[in-house]
Amino acid sequence: MIAPTAGNALLVAVLVAVWAVGWGLFARRAWQLYRYLRLGRDEDRTQRPARRIRDELVVYLGQQKLFKRPYLVRGLAHAFIFWGFAVITIGTVDLFLSGVFGFRVPGTGTALFVWTVDLFAILVIASIALALVRRLFFPPPRMHVALDGYLILGGIAFLMVTLLLFETTGLVAGVAAPGFADPPLARLLHDLWPLGDAASAAVYGAAWWGHLVGVAAFAAYLPQSKHLHIFTTLPNVFFRSQRPRGALDLIDGIEERETLGAGSVRDLSWKQLLDGYTCTECGRCSDQCPALATGKPLDPQRIVLDVRDQLLRQGGRLVLDGSDRGTPPARWSATKVEELWSCTTCGGCVEACPVTIEHIDKIVDMRRWLAMMEGDVPPEAQRALTNIERAGNPWGQPRDARAEWAAGLGVPTSAERPDAEWLYFVGCAASYDRRNQRVARSVVEVLRASGVSFAILGNEETCNGDPARRIGNEYLWQTQARANIETFARYGVRKVIASCPHCFNTIANEYPQLGGSYEVVHTAQLVQRLVTEGRLHFAPGAGASAGAKERVAYHDPCYLGRHNGIYDEPRGVMDVVPGVDRVEVRPHHRERGFCCGAGGGRMWMEEKVGQRVNHRRMDQILAADAATPVTKVASACPFCLIMLDEAAGAKGVQERIKPIDLMELVAARLPEKETATP
Amino acid sequence: MKLLVCIKQTPDSTVRVKVGPGGRSIDESGVTWAIAPYDEYAVEMALERKDADAATTVAVVTVGPPRAKDALRQALAMGADEATLVTGAEAATLEGLGVARALAAVVAEAKPDLVLCGRQSSDDDQGFVGPALAEVLGWPHVAAVTNFTGADGAVDVWKEVEGGHEVWRASGPAVLTVQKSEKEPRYPSLPGIMKAKKKEIPEKDVAALGIEGGAPRLEIVKMEPPAARGGGKILKDGDTRQTAAELVRLLREEAKVL
């Protein structure tokens, strides 16, 4: 197209001025936001650059996280708008350059380019229409449907319409530049266009100007709105955490620190503040939150937006006055503290977020401040912390009763057998909780049946520290972790088996932060490995009484599944065990598994508000059971087992649907085993 | 107001106490020590006063072996301002009255407006030292205290009684033995713990205070752990009527509760 400004210095000056104002406003806001961002604490987010580039390609350009179910159609619509934006931006730059300098961006005249632009223009318009219909008639429950969204959609639609208008009228008016391919859509519309040459030329000019002025206006508006994510997602994905999902951030030199956790926006890292700029308020995190679903005062989206809003509110003040600490995040609203304590750290929100926002880290940072700076922890959680401190377990059971579950089993301790290949780290739940002691005994049976050389620490074992860390007492976690790492070192432990996903996660993913690196396997992984290696055999026909298979539902523990990606191994074990038909708790399974309610230290806190999370989980299991009747629900976590047991009892189904641990399922089918299935 | 809290370090409630060789003392190996629970309530009660009134100071004191310093540090971490350890060879053998005399010597020196003790320790459960201290000092004593407020030299003390509470007023210095604080004992903040770690804790020698152990008036003859609890019994056979009859029989003849 020949630009309407061609040869007219005044018009060129107007165009440059309009863009200068638009992008000037953009730059001013961007600078302000950047300065606010720098209020956050430093954090290195450059490790593993290759992974970061991969994420940029897959998560950002590839829009991978947008396509999760049940958001597939909406996700596709978003991806079309995004890809369309990327392609059409090249065209927009070309328009501007040709308008000012008469210079064409190389490649923009090719048939490939014009076809691509037109194709995306249609896809973008169709996607916008879909988005509008959704907002107007089927507003998603968790989404904040506000004017902002309509303005953005309207703005994009305006740019697309003006694009198609000036392309078409440009063709009609004959202003096509020689040597450039005709836009195919315009060629199609050309024949339908009702106006004559002169009128078309006027429309062409108006649409051309409308488009370019629109871009400038959009540039000015964008950083004032949640649509800022189109710029911030790029760095937000690049700088996403490359720690294992289940690992929290280490507080280094904790004894020398003056502030611990987040007592101000200054104490949140710059990346956590960037998360706030990046949130588009889509509400997918809220959809997954077990606390929100059961009526607790927590909404993960609110956590992120509160960080953003507070930063925007106080940023100006804090930038000017270095001594101004700002308001503690945990005190931003009357309910903030309860919000923070409602989190089970299940990771549903983090898994769901399309732009890789890290909700849990913020919540834990704020909890750290409450727990370590203010000593303000729910009384029951405080009791659990004191118990860990004094007795080495959150229940406050005697330290020297830790190995009583193994009485009479002849399980050697590391002191007795320092040459054992594996250490079985039993964990507090399996050591002290009567129901879970049976699981520990099953583990022993399975390990023995497979000829695995193992030992336990006995009374020398102490809580791995996971509840303390997630409640926010990083110091206690470090104390516990160091104690275990020292004990491991004393016995030369290199390989660790854990039957508890929380022990597994913290030893595998968090102990390396303190110099303790081991090969750690969860029992579900180990059993699968033992079966594959041909070391573990089952009794022929065991468990399959009367030839019928029993149907067992599988419940994904968060710290096995979402936090560690172990979805297939426990399922593999269920599939290889004779006489068991695995049933999935759809749609709340695998990545969308629903928490039992015990994570994040919630095991030791009272749950007074709303429905109990484990009861909701049991409702979901009962719904699956209504479709395919099951007789058991298997989990692979002692806390899930306790929670499911309680829920089954409360719903009066404990006789019909028995909660069990995967290892009990396995142990009951070992050869030469006479006892009935659990 | 100047508050002094007397505390005792006892085995933590999570510890399974074992009788030592000889059967006249406990086996102290592997024991985790803590502030006795009622004493911890006393510390919390004093700190709640301090929270309400910045001019209030809280000091803690204990009579015991050197390890009792950890209990004092715990109280400092919770927010107490200063701590004193009364120790020495004699400290281990002091009986209740000797402990009360040693504490009285500290009180005489520190001159607090009010002394708080837990109502009883969780090891000997004698409930003796608080009232004895009041007696030695010649001060009034209020027991089973759940709260107090002080103004102009007088103290209003909430005291638990069956089915409610009474408010007593003490005009001068007094000794309160604490039943329970308004809130659960606070969780020390990490900076509090770190500060407490570095804090100097002065030691006083029991003998230097002029307290003599003297000949013991009481002697522990024997310590025995309680008998292991048997498992419960589940009545499964028979219909409801038979089960109920069997239950009544067992409650009467075996459990002897009817």
Q: For residues A599 and B29, give the distance between their C-alpha atoms in angstroms, rounded to a whole number.
A: 35
Nearest to A235 by CA among A200, A185, A271, A268: A271
- CA A583 to the chain's CA centroid: 25
Nearest to B189 among A374, A382, A401 (CB): A374
Cβ A406 vs Cβ A444: under 8 Å: yes
pLDDT at A326: 87
**Residue B53 vs residues A163, B1, B158: alpha-carbon distances, Å:** 71, 8, 18
pTM of this prediction exceeds 0.90: yes
Q: A-contacting residues of B 43-62, CB under 8 Å? A: none
Q: Which residues of chain B make contact with A376, given a CB cutoff of 8 A? A: 187
Cβ B81 vs Cβ B112: under 8 Å: no
Contact of A537 with chain B, judged by CB distance below 8 Å, is answered with no
Q: Which residues of chain A make contact with B16, given a CB cutoff of 8 A? A: 398, 400-401
Task: Identify the residue among A254, A255, A388 best suited for mutation to test binding to B, counting B beta carbons within 10 A and taking the highest.
Answer: A255
Quote the tokens at residue A672. 């030469």
Nearest to B34 among A390, A397, A398 (CB): A390
Q: Which residues of chain B make contact with A385, given a CB cutoff of 8 A? A: 187
DSSP letter for each residue of A237-299? HHTS--S-TTPPPP-TTGGG-SS-S-SSGGGSBHHHHHHHHH-----HHHHH-HHHHTT-S--
Q: Which residues of chain A make contact with B12, given a CB cutoff of 8 A? A: 390-391
pLDDT surpasses 90 at A553? yes
Cβ A661 vs Cβ A570: under 8 Å: no
Contact B191 A382 (CB under 8 A): no
Nearest to B14 among A371, A372, A390 (CB): A390
For the segment A525-542, the average pLDDT, to the nearest whole number, is 90
For the segment A29-34, the average pLDDT, to the nearest whole number, is 96
Task: Identify the residue among B15, B181, B189 best suited for mutation to test binding to A, counting A beta carbons within 10 A and taking the highest.
Answer: B189
For the segment A502-524, the average pLDDT, to the nearest whole number, is 98
Q: How confident is the model at residue A48 (pLDDT cuts 50, 70, 90)?
A: very high
Backbone angles phi, psi at A421, to 5 degrees: -70, -45
Contact of B195 with chain A, judged by CB distance below 8 Å, is answered with no
Q: Which residues of chain B make contact with A402, given a CB cutoff of 8 A? A: none
Distance from CA of A472 to the nearest CA of B (A): 11
pLDDT at B254: 84
Contact of A396 with chain B, judged by CB distance below 8 Å, is answered with yes
Quote the tokens at residue A458. 């006995």
Sequence spans of domains, chain B = 2-209, 228-258
Classified by CATH at the fold level, domain A9-39+84-238 comes out as Fumarate Reductase Cytochrome B subunit (1.20.950)
**CA nearest A391 in B: which residue?**
B14
Nearest to B16 among A257, A375, A398 (CB): A398
CA angle A189, A190, A195 (to 5 degrees): 110
Contact A373 B190 (CB under 8 A): yes
Q: Which residues of chain B make contact with A374, given a CB cutoff of 8 A? A: 189
**Residue A291 vs residues A340, A341, A355: alpha-carbon distances, Å:** 10, 10, 22
Contact of A400 with chain B, judged by CB distance below 8 Å, is answered with yes
What SS3 class is residue A363? helix
Nearest to B189 among A372, A382, A385 (CB): A372
Answer CATH for A545-667 from 2.40.360, 3.40.630, 3.40.50, 3.30.160: 3.40.50
DSSP letter for each residue of chain B? -EEEEE--EEE-TTS---BPTTSSSB--TTPPEEE-HHHHHHHHHHHHHHHH-TT-EEEEEEES-GGGHHHHHHHHHHT-SEEEEEESGGGGG--HHHHHHHHHHHHHHH--SEEEEESS-SSS----HHHHHHHHHT--EEEEEEEEEEETTEEEEEEEETTEEEEEEESS-EEEEES--SSPPPPPPHHHHHHHHH----EEETGGGT----S-S-------PPPPPPPP----SS-HHHHHHHHHHHHHHTS---
Q: Which residues of chain A make contact with B184, given a CB cutoff of 8 A? A: 379, 382
Q: Which residues of chain B make contact with A373, given a CB cutoff of 8 A? A: 189-191
Q: For residues A484 and A479, give the distance between their C-alpha atoms in angstroms, rounded to a whole number.
A: 9
pLDDT digits (tens, 9 = 90+) for B31-88: 999 999 999 999 999 999 999 999 999 999 999 999 999 999 999 999 999 999 999 8
pLDDT digits (tens, 9 = 90+) for A53-84: 999 999 999 999 999 988 899 899 999 999 99
pLDDT digits (tens, 9 = 90+) for B138-158: 999 999 999 999 777 789 999
Contact A371 B187 (CB under 8 A): yes
Highest mean pLDDT among A305-309, A479-483, B28-32: A479-483
What SS3 class is residue A457? coil
Cβ A522 vs Cβ A506: under 8 Å: no
**Residue A424 vs residues A49, A461, A488: alpha-carbon distances, Å:** 36, 10, 11
What SS3 class is residue A91? helix
Give the alpha-carbon dihedral of A651, A655, A661, A667, to 10 degrees.
180
Contact A385 B187 (CB under 8 A): yes
Quote the tokens at residue A597. 């309610």
For tokens 């048939």, the residue is A111
Which DSSP category does A176 fall into?
A: P
Amino acid identity of residue A602, one-letter, is R
Distance from CA of B133 to the nearest CA of A (A): 31
Nearest to B14 among A371, A376, A396 (CB): A396
pLDDT at A140: 76
pLDDT at A675: 47
Q: Which residues of chain B make contact with A371, given a CB cutoff of 8 A? A: 187
**Residue B253 vs residues A651, B229, B237: alpha-carbon distances, Å:** 37, 18, 19
Quote the tokens at residue B94. 């002091």
Domain A387-532 listed as CATH 3.30.70.141 = no
**CA nearest A460 in B: which residue?**
B30
Q: For residues A641 and B145, give the distance between their C-alpha atoms in angstroms, rounded to a whole number.
A: 43
**CA nearest B13 in A: which residue?**
A396
pLDDT at A178: 66
Nearest to B32 among A257, A391, A475 (CB): A391
pLDDT surpasses 50 at A590? yes
Distance from CA of B187 to the nearest CA of A (A): 5
Quote the tokens at residue A294. 């059961």
Q: For residues A287 and A253, give the distance between their C-alpha atoms in angstroms, rounded to a whole number.
A: 38
pLDDT at A545: 54
Q: How confident is the model at residue A547 (pLDDT cuts 50, 70, 90)?
A: low
Q: For residues A662 and A656, give the distance between their C-alpha atoms in angstroms, rounded to a whole number.
A: 18
For tokens 């209504």, the residue is A626
pLDDT surpasses 80 at A281? yes
Contact of A568 with chain B, judged by CB distance below 8 Å, is answered with no
pLDDT surpasses 60 at A677? no
Q: Which residues of chain A make contact with B36, given a CB cutoff of 8 A? A: none
Nearest to A401 among B16, B186, B194 (CB): B16
Tell me what ipTM this predicted complex has: 0.86
For the segment B184-203, the average pLDDT, to the nearest whole number, is 94
Q: Which residues of chain A make contact with B34, given a CB cutoff of 8 A? A: 390
Domain A254-373 listed as CATH 3.10.450 = no
Cβ A569 vs Cβ A554: under 8 Å: no
Nearest to A391 among B14, B187, B190 (CB): B14
User: SS3 letters for A99-113?
Assistant: HHCCCCCCCCCCHHH
Domain B2-209 listed as CATH 1.10.10.10 = no
Contact of A660 with chain B, judged by CB distance below 8 Å, is answered with no
pLDDT surpasses 50 at A546? no
CA angle A342, A242, A484 (to 5 degrees): 70
CA angle A623, A624, A628 (to 5 degrees): 120
Q: Which residues of chain B make contact with A400, given a CB cutoff of 8 A? A: 16, 30
pLDDT digits (tens, 9 = 90+) for A613-630: 999 999 999 999 999 999
Nearest to A338 by CA among A292, A405, A270, A373: A292
b/e map A559-572, b = 16+ CB within 10 Å: bbbbbbebbebbbb
Q: Which residues of chain A make contact with B194, given a CB cutoff of 8 A? A: 255
CATH 1.10.1060 domain extents, chain A: 254-373
Inter-chain Cβ pairs, chain A and chain B, closer than 8 A: 51
Q: How confident is the model at residue A678 (pLDDT cuts 50, 70, 90)?
A: very low
